[in-house]
A and B are shown apart, each in its own frame.
Chain A
Amino acid sequence: MRILETQHLTREFGGVIAVNDVDFHVEKGLVTGLIGPNGAGKTTLFNQITGVDKPTSGKIIFDGNDITGLPAWKISRMGIARTFQNIRLYKELTVVENVMMGLHFKVGENPFKGRFIQALKSYVFASRENREVYGKAMEWLRFFELDEHAQDFAGSLPYGKQRELEIARALAADPKLLFLDEPAAGMNPAETAHLMAVVDKIRSLGVTVVLIEHDMKLVMNICDNITVLNFGMKIAEGTPNDIKHDKLVIEAYLGREEEE
């Protein structure tokens, strides 16, 4: 079943077509890789889908709803979470507080809606609710093996752990679909191996994952499906095995790497 689908998605930046007529789709429960050389339009495609930027034309369907051009907060509330190439944590908050933020703003729960009585209840029982949220946040940290850092400031964690914390926070909000933008960028091999284990765990939770990644080993090992972009256009899609043997892909992408 397709959880996400783009139809003829196009984004132009004053004459430059960053994403050109892309039909991209994601199967529910699987890990989909989005690869392509630098400047292929991968992050631009992510930005259209998550509402950070609006497409010039085309449609985005998520879970049966047209989400084209909706603001980022609405899309996030509907169940799409993402991480960024450059880490975006609340650096002044502690590790556990970051995850608590994710839990406080769970998918589907609008902090501005809800009946007055409920608002009052959450106010009166705030400390109990906070204790529960704290407990859940610690569970997530244990899941990611970050619990020993719970009381450290997020900004003080080593790079690889900051990335994992960002993923933990995104997952804490209970999304249906998680976008990871180059999660292994700048990680050492040990951290990358740990990340692969993490993505495997996420899949086992039933969350659909889409990841942009340059680390071919990671992509080939972990993804069920791969879509390849080049110069803003989709040039191939299929299983890792299909992609490995795709002529266009080898020419456009793997071929270029060999020249270096």
Chain B
Amino acid sequence: MLSGSLLFKQFREKEVGTITLYLQYIVNGLTLGAIYSLIALGYTMVYGILKFINFAHGDILMVGAFIGLIIYNALTGGEAADPGAWTILAFFISMLASMGFCAILGMAIERIAYKPLRNANRLAPLLSAIGVSFILSNGAAWIFGTQSRRFPYPFENEPIHIGAITITPHQIVIIVVSVVMMVLLTSFVSKTRMGKAMRAASLDQSTSMLMGINVNRVISLTFAIGSALAAVGGILAAFDFRVYPSMGTMTGLKAFVAAVIGGIGNIQGAMIGGILLGILEAVGAPLLHIPNGMRDTVAFAVLILVLLVKPEGILGKNEREKV
């Protein structure tokens, strides 16, 4: 249901042959996968440092989409606005603002709901995360109502035809924004001292502490970055899936699957896992004649396969239990 509209929107069966048809699916899968990747990064970065799955992450993308939508509507007047330079600028302003909001929200959640449980039983923070997830989605339903809203396109969304393949400007925006975010993140982690502190903390927290790295600060930063990326993912997803309080549940779950496929804890893995899952989902469903309502099963079937064949994921390391 989530990806259905995206996949079949531009597809005109009579005009294209099977090969171009599947090329079209791959293009559609790329845009879907780019969104999964952005969201998967938050799961994987948090897991890398805390060995903990932040199940509230999916709901942060929902909050990000709502905040983005509200700011965008406030700036442009919403649906009524004619697409133009101002709406495009407003779109990026609202995205940045939403990133900032979600970064602070992510840090606050960590401080309030996870940090006090850091030395508790491993199950405790997990339950706390599920609780936060409910608070966020129900809080959004209470504040914004349960009806879904459309995120207006800030530009003319006339499809562009390249040969037999059709791509819409909003798909290009999704891919470009995602790639920019991933490049920025990669160079941040590999180049800056803060990024190195993050890597060091994910390798060994106690050693890093003795090297003068403030691990608490690193953890806050990790939540901030992950949540900001989720906000971007939420806004981009909103073009295709609309905005509603439970929008984060399935998208978040699939992004989590993507993180596991790529090797949880590995940043490049999350990017690859997300793109791969998007393409597999977009290509696999029509290939296997899976009906639209059952489309989500593809992601989870892939998850089961990966767990059976390579449980550590594509780029994951085979982790031995430390005694």
Surface stretch bound by A, among B73-81, B174-182, B196-204? B196-204
Bound Cα distance A90, B210 (Å) = 12
Q: Does B192 contact A (CB under 8 A)?
A: yes
Closest CB-CB distance, A259 to chain B, in whole Å?
34
CA distance A65 to B217 in the complex (A): 23
Q: Check: B20 CB closer than 8 A to any chain A CB.
A: no
Main secondary structure of the interface of B (DSSP, over half): helix
Contact yes or no, B193 A111, CB < 8 A: yes
How distant is A121 from chain B, measured CB to nearest CB, in Å? 11
B203-A50 in contact (CB<8A) = no
Contacts of A22 in B (CB 8 A): none
B17: interface (CB < 8 Å): no
Option from B192, B203, B317 in Cβ contact (under 8 Å) with A122: B192
- Within the complex, the shortest CB–CB distance from A148 to chain B, in Å, comes to 24
Contacts of A71 in B (CB 8 A): 209, 214
Q: How far is the CB of A96 from chain B (nearest CB, A)?
A: 14
Residues of A within 8 A of B191 (CB): 122-123, 126-127, 130
With an 8 A cutoff between CB atoms, is B212 at the interface? yes
Name A61-93 residues within 8 Å CB distance of B: 71-74, 76-77, 81-82, 88-90, 92-93
Closest to B206 in A: A88
- A157 interface contact, C-beta 8 A: no
Residue of A nearest to B215 (CB): A73
Q: Which of A117-137 contact B (CB under 8 A)?
A: 119, 122-123, 126-127, 130
In the assembly, what is the distance between CA of A74 and CA of B214, in Å? 8
Residue of B nearest to A76 (CB): B212
Q: Which of B192, B204, B209, B212 contacts A107 (CB 8 A)?
A: B212
Complex Cα gap A10–B299 (Å): 58
| A90 and B203 within 8 A (CB) | yes
With both beta carbons as reference points, the residue of chain B lying nearest to A100 in the complex is identified as B196
> Is A194 interfacial (CB 8 A cutoff)?
no
Whether B210 and A105, one on each chain, are in contact in the complex, defined by CB atoms closer than 8 angstroms, is: no
* A101 in contact with B210 (CB, 8 Å): no
Range for the number of chain B residues in contact with chain A: 20 to 34
Contacts of A126 in B (CB 8 A): 187, 190-192
Q: Cβ of A93 and Cβ of B203 under 8 Å apart?
A: yes
Distance in Å from the Cβ of B285 to the closest Cβ of chain A?
38
Residues of chain A lying within 8 A (CB to CB) of residue B212: 73-74, 76-77, 105, 107, 173
**Nearest CB of A to B198, in Å:** 10
In the complex, the chain A residue whose C-beta lies closest to that of B317 is A92
A102 CB-CB contact with B under 8 Å: yes
- In the complex, what residues of B have CB within 8 A of residue A105's CB? 193, 196-197, 200, 211-213
Give chain B interface residues in 197-247, CB to chain A under 8 Å.
197, 200, 203-204, 206-207, 209-215, 217
Q: What residues of B have a CB within 8 angstroms of the CB of A169 in the complex?
A: 211
CB pair A50 B210 closer than 8 Å: yes
- Among A72, A88, A102, the one with the most B-chain Cβ atoms within 10 Å of its Cβ is A72
**B302 contacts partner chain A, Cβ-Cβ < 8 Å:** no
* Cβ contacts under 8 Å, B167 to chain A: none
CB pair A111 B197 closer than 8 Å? yes
List residues of chain A with CB within 8 A of the CB of B211.
73, 76, 101-102, 105, 169, 173
Cα(A17)–Cα(B81), bound, Å:
74
In the assembled complex, the CB of A253 is this many whole angstroms from the nearest CB of chain B, namely: 29
Contact B214 A112 (CB under 8 A): yes
B194 sits at the interface (CB 8 A): yes
Tell me which residues across on chain B come within 8 A of A109, comparing CB atoms: 193
Question: Are A72 and B203 interface neighbours, CB within 8 A?
Answer: no
A104: Cβ under 8 A from any B Cβ: yes
Chain A residues, Cβ within 8 Å of B188: 123
A119 to chain B, nearest CB (A): 7
Inter-chain CA distance A92–B217, complex, in Å, is 23
Known A111-B194, A112-B194, A123-B192; judge A92-B203 contact (CB<8 A).
yes
In the complex, are the beta carbons of A90 and B192 less than 8 A apart? no
- In the bound assembly, the distance between CA atoms of A23 and B82 in angstroms comes to 77
The answer to whether residues A104 and B193 also contact, given A73-B215, A112-B217 and a CB cut-off of 8 A, is yes
Across the interface, do B213 and A111 meet the contact criterion of CB distance under 8 Å?
yes
The CA of A169 and the CA of B203, in the complex, are separated in Å by 16
Residues of B within 8 A of A112 (CB): 194, 214, 217
Against A, the Cβ 8 Å flags (1 = close, 0 = not) of B285-306 are 0000000000000000000000
Q: A89-B207, A130-B191 are in contact. List 16 more A-B contacts (CB 8 A).
A: A52-B210, A74-B214, A76-B209, A82-B210, A88-B206, A90-B204, A102-B211, A104-B193, A105-B213, A107-B212, A109-B193, A111-B192, A111-B197, A111-B213, A123-B191, A173-B211
